[in-house]
Amino acid sequence: MKYIIKTFFALLIMIVLFMIIGCGRSETINDSFTNTIQEQEVKDTSENIPEGKCLDDNSCYREENGLVFTSLGGKRCFKPSEELGNCIECLENLDCADKSFDNVCDLTAHKCVECVADKDCPQREPRCITTKTEIYKENRCEECISDSDCGQGQYCNEYNSCSSLIYTNYEKIQVGMSKEKILELVGEPEDKQEIVTSYGTSEYWYYGYQKSIQIAFEDGKVSSKAKY
């Protein structure tokens, strides 16, 4: 009788353990099946999104033949409403950090540019030009916008660079002109030299690259000019 009771309890325990294990496996299988269905739904939804449109940043990437490509619009999803958003290049400067030059995010156009304001430009090219020309792109850093951005004796040329007036006004320099008139035409020289002889005092003003232009004065008036 005792043997029968022990056998009965052993079988009962085995049945209970089998039921517990079976329930656990069933839940795992159900969870796995549910996750698979959800993943497939997300995949199907993503595949049905038109190029350039998005639900989130992940939607702005496409996989083809095992390779991942960024959408034509960009890698970030701009979604201001519940509607499908647009894939754009940037939402913040950090999105442009991998660019060589255009590392500022234009928050209006949502694209990476060189600058949106003067503060974005380096000291050597401190002015931000936001307009586009036939030659140059918009949102670029340049040396000058107007003559006031250049030093004395310089002007802002058509390439938005500061150029010396000496090259523009050299032909206007005439013998007999006063120093005041020369300063008005070409500004201060890069260097000056004064030579005193028994015949009087001669003064030389030098301009241009490596002092390539010389203006000589006798008694405060232009006596000659030369290009070297």
Per the CB < 8 A criterion, the answer to whether 72 and 52 are in contact is yes
Q: Which residue has the higher pLDDT, 127 or 43?
A: 127
- The model carries a pTM of 0.57
Residue type, 209: Y
Grade residue 51 by pLDDT with cuts at 50, 70 and 90.
confident
Identify the pLDDT of residue 134. Answer: 81
pLDDT digits (tens, 9 = 90+) for 159-171: 899 988 888 899 9
pLDDT at position 115 is 96
For range 89-109, the mean pLDDT: 92
In this structure, are residues 78 and 86 in contact, taking their beta carbons and an 8 Å threshold?
yes
Region 187-204: what's the mean pLDDT?
88
Q: Is the pLDDT of residue 146 over 50?
A: yes
What does the alpha-carbon distance between residue 206 and residue 190 come to, in Å, rounded to a whole number?
Answer: 6
Alpha-carbon span 166 to 169, nearest angstrom: 5
Mean pLDDT of the chain: 82
pLDDT digits 0-9 by tens, 40-49: 444 444 567 8
| Residue 127 confidence (pLDDT) above 90 | yes
Report percent pLDDT > 90 for the chain: 42
In order of their start, the domains of the chain are 51-88 (no CATH), 168-227 (3.30.1450.10)
